[in-house]
Chain A
Amino acid sequence: MQKRYAFGVWSAVPIILAAACGPAAARQEATIPLPLKLPRPVFAGTPKEVPAGTTVEKPSGKPRPIPQVPAGTINLALKKKVTASKAPFGGSLELITDGNKEAREGTAVELQPRLQWVQVDLGASCELHYVVFWHFHMEPVVYHDVIVQLSNDPDFIDGVTTIFNNDQDNTAGLGIGKDREYFETSEGKLVAAKGIKARYARFYSRGSTYNDPLNRYTEIEIYGLPAR
């Protein structure tokens, strides 16, 4: 009996270890490359000279590495409802989540000058991993005061997490941002959301180095796991 008992205890060890490690190993295996399909580039390279007055980061000159995300990650923003700080100047807000991110006439919505935002309602609080957005990639312009916030509060008063902020002088009043400005390209701007659970995503900007003061959005994609 004693011997059988002893065997029974030791035989449980691998079962316990497997129970402890199994889910983690399974989680590691269950990742996929971010299912992001880039639009076609309409210009080659980036300007040699950086625009004065920007903090633009030097382009690497190589394609951006594709991050891994949990299996089941999809673009939650597709066809979702978009609101904005003011009615669009040109185009409609649906363009932002219509899935068309090509740099062509009529694919971008134009918002008024100065600080403006657009907000995507995912319909439910979801685990978010990456946010990708394209303001306007017909030319390598640089957008100013780009801020991305996530929240479950549609008014962005409570529980707000800022995942990107390059408003260094805090002119938007949302805090000093340490992120760098960047050239708009067909790759869009990829920002890690680090698994934050949120229903709303808000995107601020204050014009660009383009030849007019408007704010533009071609597409926003928010990658995460759908709410269960």
Chain B
Amino acid sequence: MSRTALFVVAVLVIALGASALRLPDLGNRIVHADESVHAVKLWELRSTGRYRYDPDEFHGPTLYYAALPALSAQGRSDFGALTESDCRLPVALAGVGMILLVALLAPAIGRRAALLTMLLLGLSPAFVFYSRYYIQETFLVAFTAGALGCFVQWARAPRLGWAMLGGAFAGLMLASKETAILSLGAWGAAVLLFRSPSGPTPRRVLRIHAGLAMAACCLTAAALLTGFGSNVQAVVDYVRSYGHWLVRAHGSDLHRQPWSYYCTLVGWRPSTRGPVWTEGAILLLGCIGGIVSLRRPREARGLFGRRLLVFTAIQLAAYSVTPYKTPWCVLNPLLGVALLGGLGGDALLTMPRRLGIRYAAGLLMVVGGIHLGWLAQRTSFVYQNDPRNPYLHSPTVPDALEFRRRAMALAPFHPDRMRMVIKVFWNDAYYWPIPWYLRGFDNVGYWQGVPADADAPLIFASPEYDEELTRRLDATHLMNGYIGLRRGTVAMVWVRMDLWTRYVESRRRASPADGL
């Protein structure tokens, strides 16, 4: 078997292993508020065929377009039938795709380093966890890997195809999330700081390739952001959105974190009676890779390593100085660390003169890999709903499943069934993911405050409205309990008495009272 064939087999084996951590049981985590917003946006696109970019919220549409083929293949035509797995599947596939795309970087970092990087990404608890999460970050990082891979391939043999494909990946990055500008800017700075020695390619050809790559980037981003031309204004809105995001970057109470947040998130996070969360193996190898890159000559891997170092450092600095922090953003600098880690691992296996040291380093890397895989499994399959898991951000509590259970239990006893009116009165705009759990109900209304006509068969409300609702609804309704939404946030349930009586009587017929 040739070395190339061996490399391909190794890549496929790693991708298969990464799939084993990413694809099973995708519905095992309670839907996060952000995921629910994206699921609703996905269904708007699926049901109307139209996408409209919102410069204030939600980022770009790649997440929605990527989910459409699977929905069509499964024949999903009812929002109520949409599952967590339907939404998360394209993200999980993007997580695996990212690992495959790292293979494109082999000419710059070497095949062994590329395989080691793939292993690190495949086993990283953070990468596994957010590959099972219906938000844009994994798409952004996967497209970043694609753009870097195309850049490397083009640098090796400057073909127009690689330039344009790289441009398309950059466009996909921009169409995924506005913060793509940080990744692109960091890579641009790295390339400017460590320039390639002049090659044989004429400058005119380089300019044409650069121009066409830029055109591919703009066309790809514009096509997706405008909903394939249906809303041209989106291009202007996208540029304007940076003003909004810059203001938002100052952070609200919920999102404001210290500068060291991302370092400690992947560095060392102990938990009470739980594991210590650390991606220490990746960080250690990344540090070694960084040092080795600085010591190597600028030619060959030294140049790319130095660029990676700058790329990673700029991203880490940019995300760290921004007060607004969400844990998934760590994937952006962590991609660079993993690539440097591949270089570091490769150096440990090849540079020491003594064979024993190489074996010892290899053994330590195996132990590190086992630890990462073990922690990734615990993070995504044991602690996926546990507040001790540091990758969970303002998580929805498991009790939230009760929103759907309660509505589904009552609906058969209302004449309108799934068209039964449900009203949600909330004290702010953060009632998500209630809409996800009420999906499939056709008449659900949301109010900030209690409207003049508060009457409805089923009401979910902020506890702040307890006194008002008791005054207005006590004669006709029953306060039927609380349902947890997030830690410290609950909803009150009010059910109209006639509906509740029918429900209770039917239950009593099915199972008589267990009185004395």
Whether A associates with B in a native complex is: yes
By a beta-carbon cutoff of 8 Å, the part of chain A in contact with chain B is: 48-50, 52-58, 85, 114-117, 168-174, 176, 178, 180
- Which interface residue of B466, B497, B515 has the most chain A CB atoms within 10 A? B515
A39 to B483, CA, bound (A): 33
Stretch of B105-113, B416-424, B473-481 lying at the A interface: B473-481
Also in contact, A117 and B482, with CB within 8 A (given A50-B463, A170-B504): no
Residue in B463, B484, B512 whose beta carbon sits within 8 Å of that of A173 in the complex: B512
Taking a contact as CB atoms under 8 Å apart, the answer to whether A117 and B516 are in contact is yes
Besides A54-B482, A168-B478, A170-B504, 19 new A-B residue pairs in contact (Cβ under 8 A), listed by A number: A48-B488, A49-B487, A52-B483, A53-B482, A55-B481, A57-B466, A58-B466, A85-B516, A114-B514, A115-B514, A115-B516, A168-B481, A168-B504, A170-B508, A171-B513, A171-B515, A173-B512, A176-B478, A178-B497
Taking a contact as CB atoms under 8 Å apart, the answer to whether A52 and B504 are in contact is no
Taking a contact as CB atoms under 8 Å apart, the answer to whether B478 and A178 are in contact is yes
| 9 residue pairs bridging A and B, Cβ less than 8 Å apart | A48-B488, A49-B488, A52-B483, A56-B482, A115-B514, A171-B515, A173-B515, A174-B515, A180-B479
Interchain nearest-CB distance for A62 vs B (Å): 14
Interchain nearest-CB distance for A125 vs B (Å): 24
A63 to B504, CA, bound (A): 36
Interchain nearest-CB distance for B508 vs A (Å): 6
Task: State which residues 463-516 of B face A: CB under 8 Å.
Answer: 463, 466, 474, 478-484, 487-488, 490, 497, 500-501, 504, 507-508, 512-516
Chain A interface, DSSP helix/strand/loop, else mixed: loop
Report chain A residues within 8 Å CB of B478: 168, 176, 178
Taking a contact as CB atoms under 8 Å apart, the answer to whether A115 and B515 are in contact is yes
A54 to B516, CA, bound (A): 22
A36 to B284, CA, bound (A): 69
Taking a contact as CB atoms under 8 Å apart, the answer to whether A50 and B490 are in contact is yes
Taking a contact as CB atoms under 8 Å apart, the answer to whether A53 and B504 are in contact is no
Residue in A49, A116, A169, A173 whose beta carbon sits within 8 Å of that of B490 in the complex: A49
10 nearest CB pairs, A to B: A173-B513, A173-B515, A55-B481, A52-B399, A172-B515, A50-B482, A170-B504, A85-B516, A52-B484, A58-B466
Interchain nearest-CB distance for B260 vs A (Å): 29
Interchain nearest-CB distance for A94 vs B (Å): 22
A77 to B423, CA, bound (A): 46
Interchain nearest-CB distance for B482 vs A (Å): 5
Report chain A residues within 8 Å CB of B500: 168, 176
Interchain nearest-CB distance for B188 vs A (Å): 48
Task: State which residues 84-133 of B face A: CB under 8 Å.
Answer: none
A172 to B399, CA, bound (A): 25
- Which interface residue of B479, B488, B490 has the most chain A CB atoms within 10 A? B479
- B236-269 contact mask (Cβ, 8 Å, vs A): 1 or 0: 0000000000000000000000000000000000
A50 to B488, CA, bound (A): 9
Residue in A57, A114, A176 whose beta carbon sits within 8 Å of that of B501 in the complex: A176
Residue in A48, A50, A169, A174 whose beta carbon sits within 8 Å of that of B504 in the complex: A169
Report chain A residues within 8 Å CB of B512: 173
- B444-480 contact mask (Cβ, 8 Å, vs A): 1 or 0: 0000000000000000000100100000001000111
A55 to B516, CA, bound (A): 23
A56 to B501, CA, bound (A): 20
Residue in A55, A85, A169 whose beta carbon sits within 8 Å of that of B482 in the complex: A55
Report chain B residues within 8 Å CB of A50: 463, 482, 490
Also in contact, A53 and B513, with CB within 8 A (given A58-B463, A176-B504): no
A168 to B504, CA, bound (A): 9
A49 to B491, CA, bound (A): 11
A176 (CB) vs chain B CBs: closest residue: B504
Taking a contact as CB atoms under 8 Å apart, the answer to whether B513 and A172 are in contact is yes
A169 to B504, CA, bound (A): 6
Report chain A residues within 8 Å CB of B514: 114-115, 171
Interchain nearest-CB distance for A146 vs B (Å): 14
Interchain nearest-CB distance for A207 vs B (Å): 12
Interchain nearest-CB distance for B233 vs A (Å): 45
B483 (CB) vs chain A CBs: closest residue: A52
Interchain nearest-CB distance for A86 vs B (Å): 9
Taking a contact as CB atoms under 8 Å apart, the answer to whether A170 and B513 are in contact is yes
A53 (CB) vs chain B CBs: closest residue: B481
Report chain B residues within 8 Å CB of A115: 514-516
Interchain nearest-CB distance for B19 vs A (Å): 36
A104 to B488, CA, bound (A): 31
A168 to B513, CA, bound (A): 12
- Which interface residue of A54, A85, A116, A171 has the most chain B CB atoms within 10 A? A171
